[in-house]
Structure 1
Amino acid sequence: MIYDRARTNQLLAQEFVENLTSTDYFPPFSSVEETDSQNKTVMNNFKFDAPVLSFTNSNISRSRARLSMKITHGQYISFNKPLGSTDHSVVSIATVNALNAPSLHMDIDLHATSNGNIVDGEGQVLLDLSDGENHTFGLSSSGDRNRVLGLAIEKHFNSWSDESKRFVLSRIVTGDSGLRPTSFAIRTHSLARSGEKPEEDNTGEGAVIIGVAMNNEPNGNFPVQDSDLPYLLPDDAPTPIRMNILLSNRIWFSELLKKALAYFDKYTDIKYSLHKNSRGFLDGIDLNHAQSSYLGTTYDVNPPRSIFLPVGGAWDGYIEYQLRQIFIRPQPFDFSGIKVRFNGRQMTVSWSGEHPVPAVTFLKLVGQTGRDLYGNSHLTFKFNLESVYDLHIAPTGADIGKLVFGETSTTRSFDLTGQWYWNAPDGQDYLRNWLAESWSVPFRAYCQTLTDTSRNIDALMLDNLLFRSDMRGVPRLIEAPGDMTLLGHLAPDKLHFALHPATSVVSASSSLQFLLESAPAGVTWSIELLPGEFGEKGSISVNGLYQAPSPGAVPEQGRRVKVIARKDQYVSQALLYLVRNDVSVYPSLQVAQHSHTRYLLVAGSGDGKLLKWGVTPTSLGSVRAVTELDHEDMDIPDAQDVQIYVSPPVPRPLPTDWRAAVHLDQITVTGASGRTQMIDMLVLWSNPVCWFETEYVAQGVRLRMWLAGRSGPIEIFPDEADWYLVKGAGELKDGVYKSTGSEQGYAIIVAIEKSERFLNYAYIVLPFPLIDLKTLKLVDQTSTD
């Protein structure tokens, strides 16, 4: 099968929306990863949408595809371990959702998946996720750290059972077709490099080729270079060709032959030969021998025919007899001489020859005494039958898309010659008619077998190797000069017009205007929740303006909604991720170094409008747009609103409270509704020489402060330090922080030793839900002292 690459990706995206359900495709993912020798990352309860497949290039020697999975929920926290401490320290905290989170991308080398299989009787078409590579996950501004996170997810996938890590592309239902795909391989092919259009580049063009081995036959090989293969989607037709299903001559002809010979299962001593055309392709079947049961009958002539036979030696008189019966002696019936020939889109079935007819003729005397007469007649039946069929594709009905034959002409001729008993030729018409029917009935049945066989060659069944829709391809041209090619459209019901945007995130109470590309007049709009989900879904106008429900009607984890535009049989769908807030930021907290150090900040807008970035009046740092310099050493995510935070220099003189150790800058991100989300930037004026060790108590944490000494760590007791709750809704007393359960994700605590000579301080960020800073595992907050 050959498909237009751009249309293939568009259809796969449509099918992703169409088949999305509320059931998790993957189980939630949690992991603790060491991103370098001093740093670790916790990914907690990450939820992924179902994967969507796309083909990313057109190159038969380096064919690539990509699986992309959007994150819909999760918490991402980075840690390091201060020198001397047994506990980790929080570096950044981010809550990710559909509005601000990146997607996980998994590249697939299609050369490594050549052994993809259609397994078991259910016909599942599988792509092994263990063949994926270059797992990219843009959670960090560090490319190295993102690769570590991607490898962690790759390792997680590889730990699953073989069955779990197989991505089900689709499911094939073979029905009554004898074509049973058993293995396949996928490549992409460039139009430009094929030599067909040398002036064009490779941007956005190309084809997806799926090679299929049938019925457990061995796989073949693809050409090495794009130029070694003609481009198989001709673009010189009045309507562009988007699909080509190419069946090898041997495959489709052997299927036809198998059914054609099945007609003679009840016969014995079957002999046949295959015919090839001048180019070496199979194009015909010659039946040389197929012996049936014996042919014989007694034929009553009704009404009887009068026959006057001469009497007397001088032939001077006649006696009237009546022809009453003709008895044909039983003898083997042979089907030899049947021929089938293909010529392009035309099939000719013919049967000609001669057959001896040993007959006994019965005559009854009329009106006189005497005896009745009978005797042998030695006859020869000559016949010539031919039916010509045109091969085409059923345009409508139950057989739509299947190959069918339409009879275009029929030729029948019969002759009966030889010597009749007593020269009684008047019975010849009767016998000829009976013999003509005796030969015509099996010939018609044989032709019917061949045309029924053609309908069973359901080439469109192979569409299910890649697509799930009921109607993927619609052929409109067919040729069979040797190999059989079906040329036509790819899923016109789903790609007739396009709905934009295809995927978007919308916040509560906001609106989104959908646009239609190449749509006919009279499109109707509707909204659906995913199967198994309940709740408000918003509304859409007759002009495609979507209005989201109020914030109270949207759950905290969000909701997914399908928007459907339909006109007659044509349909296009889009997916909306509903979120409660119109602004989402990433990270929510970042520990920063001073003096012009850069940090990546990401935000998402739920109403599609520009966000306003700023700083609070007490902030010392600044935010700015991304520059080319930033791209050189930072991973900048696509399709997100990204800014760069630049930290301030150390102020002189330092303040006298907790601000002598750290400073809390706050970045403001404001949406069109006026709602503002904050990003906390905790700037350290110096590297702390103290640290905290934690002990978890009921509803909180006991903090023990330590200082590195010459002989080892020295504990600084609670009354030897000044304690500050920089951020948090709980209570801080005597080194114990008690949570009220209303924290906005984390609390920040600073303690400074009461020393006039040195600034010995420690800071800690306590994420909620609480995480054991030794093991980086969630803490049971119901525990007691």
Structure 2
Amino acid sequence: MKIESAGVAQAVENQSLEAFYKAMDAGPKTWGWDALLVFSRSATNALLSQEYIDRAHIPELFFPPLPDGNVDSGNGIEHVLLGLRLDKARLSFENANLKDPKAKLQMRLVGGKHLEVIETFLDGKPVRSVQALILYNAATHAVLDMNITLDAVAGAVDESGKVLLDINKGYDHLFSGGGTGPERVRLGLYFKELFETWAKEKKEILQFPLSELAVDDTSLLNPGVFMLGTHAEPGAKVLGSANQGDGAVVVFVAMRGNDSGAYPPEDKDLLYMLPDSTDPYTSNLVLSHKLVAQHVVKLGFDQFDWMKGKFDLVALKDDRYRVDENRYKLVANAVSGGGAYAEFDYFDTNHGGTLQPWHWKLTMKGATLNLFDKGSEVVFDKRMLKINWSSAMPVGTLVYWLQTGNSSGDTIPLQVSAKVEIRADCKFDVSREANKTTLKFSVSNFESSVEISIQDGFRSGDAGKDARARSENLKAPLEAALIKAAKEKLESLKNMTFEIDALRLNQLLFRGDNVVDPRDVAVPNDLTLLGNLAPKRTAMSITPLEPIVASGGFIDFSASSTSGITWTVENLPGETGETGKFATPSVGRYTAPSDDALVTEGQRRVIVKATSGEQVSRALVSIVPSHVSVNPWVAVVSLGKNYALSAGTPDNAELKWNQPELGKVDKDTDPLNPGGQKYTAPTTLPKRESNQPNHYRVLRLDEVTVEPAAGGTPATIDMLVVGAKSPNYWIEPAVNADGSVALPFYRLNLDMEKVKVPEPIEWNVLRGSGTIDSNTQTYKPAPGSDDQYVIISAFYVNDSPDTHDYVILPLPFVPVRNYAEILSPTIKEV
């Protein structure tokens, strides 16, 4: 296997603007697509993130609630998912490679609960027990993500104008809630299967709306089908180069009713569309040569009566006279209509003769010129549209009056004709009018020649000879007048009303209007419009955009507008609960609520809104119960085994993980747990002291604490370390009507029959409050307790150390009904 040296980065020169234009000059670069939208990958990801905030207050743009579900991950382990809430999918582009372009759709888990349950068969029947509790909120950074191979996932614009990307073909689904890599994959597959079910029942849910495009049947640019790809920047694959990992997002677009193009197999097969610049270009709109010729220039010409329907699109021929469908010109199929009228007023007169007096007058008023005859052309050349027109026609009448002797005189109309040659360059210019950026047509380098001829009807004799000679004086001013009229007529093309609103195509990927600020436009075969991806947003934006804050904490918001700002806060549509407040509406300090419901909910989201006159900007705030959020809250682990841990804070502060008393905590190298830690249980438990409970021989609660490195209140993860344990001793919890929990303790006797464990039994509440009645084997919660779960152990005191069991009661972490169903699908809430 050949391995390229990565020791020294190669110097890679990006193409200059001129080099880019020269490459475009060589021929069409759109691979048969009508248009390419090209954006800087990093800028695209940043803008998509900002637009997510902009639409967070729109309820229909959130993913639908997920049904409660169970996932069997094998070996008796089941994951119970309750009330999971995913936010709307966010699109980001993960690589820059046309051969294998990938996008990632990531959905954050912003609420819900996750229980890990183990099932064993005792006395021939299944017995379930909770092994771990996880509460999700924004700070715990739990995500469902999936990859999309972009060339396999086509997008479409539906009749209402929504731009849709079908995510049902995603792969590599991973859910970060799993404790191990295989469990994360299995949980990810659960979501994949759920999506597949939805695809059959309500497919539209999985058609991820990138944006919404205004449908305009009069527009020249109505996209029908599109594909997304990514493209490596030249040199991006050279390790250590300045642009390593950079690249572009490419949207391949076919207009409504047109066929799709091909997909470039390799990065090298597609010209990189963002040339180098001191002020970097981050966007480029490329319209195909054929689209520009047929649907832009030709239809633009058709808006003028004197040109309407008079040009055909004709494919050029190559050196071997074969038709080249990648190159076109416009050829006139008729004489131009409604010619150019020249203001012209000519008069001349003379008299003479002695024996035979004569008198003549020459008069001509106005002239009309046709700009082109059949066969005249408009060709694409040197980044211009070259007009090569010619015409030959009568342009007016010279009225010749002749009197000889005593006659009353004759009036003789003489036809004045002109042969015209017109050369001009046409191009597109960026136009900014009324806060709208579009493209307009302009004419330059106008050249023309006019050859005038006058019908010879002057008659013989001195008078005719004199008039004929003097009529030559008409030609120069008439030529000037005709040239002026032709130029004015041609320059009227700049008033084309179609104004190529190509920027609306950007709405295939972005929701805002005119999200691109165009800078440079040229037509080196295809039309290229280079600019900057900077959304035309309101003048005001909020910082931070998507913060997380602990219950009772505060955030200082700021806005780009510095005057007259009013700050307010509101729940998301359809949600309730305390929102927190701005003590002074003109000051951006927001204080989060601290109601008890937050502890049970795990998270709440609210919208902060800044208003200044008609300008409005929003931020999405996630409120979590405590400054440090951890996962799991509690988990069971056997001697010598590992368990993945994670924690987060609203401000993404650095965390300090404290070493527990028994096991140890180390950085987790598993890529599926980025930034997380790994708890490793001890291989043996310390010897029990005489004053310690009997279960200490085989069962210990090992607390893992984590706190902000800068100081603050720590959070605790309870790791229940289990040593020797006989599977023949077990507790079967059942919830009573009064909220107490029956904890009958059973074992198998010599005849393998289920019987109650005899006394003496030592009961202990290892975590939480409340009491246990040893006679009835019933747990009663303490009145007013804020416990979310309780850990209880039962130990049969005899000469064997393994005659015990434990139970994690997830109450009120989950409602009684859910806990009953977890224990047994046949048990209902009482």
TM-score range, shorter chain: 0.7 to 0.9
Q: 1:477 to 1:86 in 2, by over 3 A?
A: same
Whole-angstrom CA distance in 2 between matches of 1:692 and 1:70: 37
User: CA offsets, 1:221-261, max 9 Å, x none?
Assistant: 233233334433222x3333322322221121111353156
1:598 alignment partner in structure 2:
642
Alignment of 1:587 with 2:656, yes or no, is no
Normalising by the residue count of structure 1, what TM-score does the alignment of the two structures yield? Answer: 0.79
1:87–1:773: 8 Å Cα contact kept in structure 2? no
CA contact (8 A) 1:194 1:226 kept: no
Q: Supply the distance in 2 between the matched residues of 1:332 and 1:546 (Cα, whole angstroms).
A: 68
1:181 to 223, 227, 235: 223
Residues 1:750 and 1:257: Cα distance change in structure 2 (over 3 Å): same
More displaced stretch, 24-33 vs 158-167 = 24-33
Note closer, same or farther for the CA distance 1:241–1:753 as it changes in structure 2 (3 Å cut): same
Deviations 1:116-166 (A, max 9, x none): 22222x332222111211112222331000101111111112222221101
In structure 1, how many angstroms separate the alpha carbons of the residues matched to 2:780 and 2:391? 104
Task: Show the 5 A alignment for 1:452-463.
Answer: 452=496, 456-463=499-506
Q: What SS does the corresponding residue of 1:86 show, helix, strand or coil?
A: strand
Q: Deviations over 1:628-656 (max 9, x none)?
A: xx53xx5662245x352534723435755
Structure-2 change in CA distance of 1:263 and 1:475 (3 Å): closer
C-alpha offsets along residues 596-638 of structure 1, whole Å, 9 cap, x if unaligned? 43333322223444444447xxx85244332xxx53xx56622
| Letter matched to residue 483 of structure 1 | D
TM-score after normalising by structure 2: 0.75
Q: Distance in 2 between matches of 1:409 and 1:332?
A: 16
Q: Structure 1: which 5+ runs fail to align?
A: none
Name the structure 2 match of 1:2.
Answer: 38
Evaluate the alpha carbon distance shift between residue 664 and residue 337 of structure 1 in structure 2; reply closer, same or farther with a 3 A threshold: closer
- SS of aligned partner of 1:71: strand
Map 1:500-649 onto structure 2 (within 5 A): 504-508=547-551, 535-536=579-580, 548-549=590-591, 551-552=593-594, 556=598, 557-560=603-606, 577-594=622-639, 596-614=640-658, 620-626=661-667, 631=669, 634=670, 637-640=673-676, 642=677, 644-647=679-682, 649=684
How do 1:270-281 residues align onto structure 2 when only pairs under 5 Å count?
272=312, 274=314, 276=316
Task: Give me the whole-angstrom Cα distance separating, in 2, the residues matched to 1:300 and 1:209.
Answer: 52
Q: Distance in 2 between matches of 1:326 and 1:496?
A: 58
Q: Judging changes above 3 Å, is the alpha-carbon distance between structure 1 residues 86 and 336 closer, same or farther for their aligned structure 2 residues? A: same
Residue 470 of structure 1 corresponds to which residue in structure 2? 513
**Residue 169 of structure 1 corresponds to which residue in structure 2?**
210
Structure 1 residues 495 and 10, CA gap change in structure 2 (3 angstroms): farther
Mapped pair 1:262 → 2:308: no
CA contact (8 A) 1:393 1:404 kept: no
1:243 paired with 2:283, answer yes
Change (3 A) 1:665 1:548: farther
Maintained 8 Å contact 1:323/1:364:
no
1:770 corresponding residue in structure 2: 816
Q: For residues 359 and 538 of structure 2, what CA distance do their matches in structure 1 show?
A: 84
TM-superposed CA distance for 1:343, in Å, is 3.2
Is 1:47 the counterpart of 2:85 in the alignment?
A: yes
State the Cα distance separating 1:334 from its structure 2 match: 8.4
Q: Structure 2: which amino acid aligns with 1:17?
A: I
Among residues 238, 259, 276, which one is paired with 1:218 in the alignment?
259
Which structure shows the bigger proportion of residues in strand conformation? 1
Partner Cα distance (2:395, 2:647) in 1 = 93
3-state SS of paired residue (2:126)? coil
CA distance change for structure 1 residues 327 and 411 in 2, over 3 Å: closer, same or farther? closer
Counterpart in the other structure of 2:731: 692
> Does structure 2 retain, via aligned residues, the 8 Å contact 1:82–1:691?
no
Q: Structure 2: which amino acid aligns with 1:5?
A: R
2:829, 2:542 → 1: CA distance? 53
Selected match of 1:148 from 186, 190, 207: 186
RMSD of aligned Cα (Å): 5.2
| AA at the equivalent of 2:633 | S
Equivalent residue of 1:253, what SS? helix
Equivalent of residue 15 in structure 1, options 35, 47, 51: 51
Q: Is the Cα–Cα contact under 8 Å of residues 355 and 382 in structure 1 kept in the other structure?
A: yes
Report the Cα offset of residue 66 of structure 1.
0.8
| TM-aligned CA deviation for residue 383 of structure 1 | 4.3
Secondary structure of the equivalent of 1:177?
Answer: coil
Checking the alignment, whether the CA contact within 8 Å between 1:138 and 1:635 is kept in structure 2 is: no
Equivalent residue for 1:253?
A: 293
- Alpha-carbon distance change, 249 to 209 in structure 1, aligned in 2, over 3 angstroms: same
SS at match of 1:683: strand
Q: 1:486 aligns with which of 519, 529, 537?
A: 529
Letter in structure 1 aligned against 2:263 = F
Q: 2:428 aligns with which of 380, 391, 414?
A: 391
Instruction: Show the 5 A alignment for 1:54-73.
Output: 54-73=92-111
- Where does the alignment leave 5 or more consecutive residues of structure 2 unmatched? 1-36
Alignment partner of 1:415 is 2:452: yes
Give the Cα–Cα distance (whole angstroms) in 1 for the partners of residues 234 and 348 of structure 2.
83
Structure 2 partner of 1:116: 155
In terms of mean alpha carbon deviation, does 169-178 or 653-662 score higher? 653-662
Query: Are the equivalent residues in 1 in contact too, given 2:104–2:148 (CA < 8 A)?
Result: yes
Tell me, yes or no, if structure 1 residue 650 matches structure 2 residue 685.
yes
Amino acid at match of 1:452: M
Distance 1:224 1:597 in 2: 47
Cα drift, residue 657 of structure 1: 4.8
Aligned partners of 1:186 and 1:210 also within 8 Å: yes
Equivalent pair of 2:88/2:107 in contact (CA under 8 Å): yes
Report deviation, 1:677.
Answer: 2.6
Q: Distance in 1 between matches of 2:803 and 2:239?
A: 70
Name the residue aligned to 2:357: 317
Distance (Å, rounded) in 2 between the aligned partners of 1:231 and 1:474: 20
| C-alpha contact 1:260 1:450 (8 A) present in aligned 2 | no
| SS of corresponding position for 1:289 | coil
Task: Please tell me whether the aligned partners of residues 473 and 490 of structure 1 are also in contact (alpha carbons under 8 angstroms).
Answer: yes
- Larger mean Cα displacement after TM superposition, 151-160 or 741-750: 741-750
Deviation readout 1:364-391 (Å, 9 max, x if unpaired): 999x998685455344344455554443
Structure 1 pair 259–3 and aligned structure 2 pair: CA distance change class (3 A)? same
Say whether 1:668 aligns with 2:705.
yes
The answer to whether the 8 A contact 2:557-2:589 is kept is no
- Does 443-452 or 497-506 show the bigger shift? 497-506
Matches within 5 A, 1:289-300: 289-290=334-335
Amino acid of the residue matched to residue 731 of structure 2?
F
Offset at 1:400? Answer: 1.5
Q: Distance in 2 between matches of 1:264 and 1:401?
A: 20
Query: Secondary structure, in 3 states, of the residue corresponding to 2:203?
Result: coil
Are the aligned partners of 1:46 and 1:71 in contact in 2 as well (CA < 8 Å)? Answer: yes
Match of 2:332 in 1: 287
What does 1:407-446 correspond to in 2, within 5 Å? 407=444, 409=446, 413=450, 415=452, 417-420=454-457
Q: Structure 1 residue 183: deviation in Å?
A: 1.6
Alpha-carbon distance in structure 1 between the residues aligned to 2:654 and 2:584:
23
Q: Is the alpha carbon distance of 1:450 and 1:760 closer, same or farther for their aligned partners in structure 2, counting shifts above 3 Å? A: same
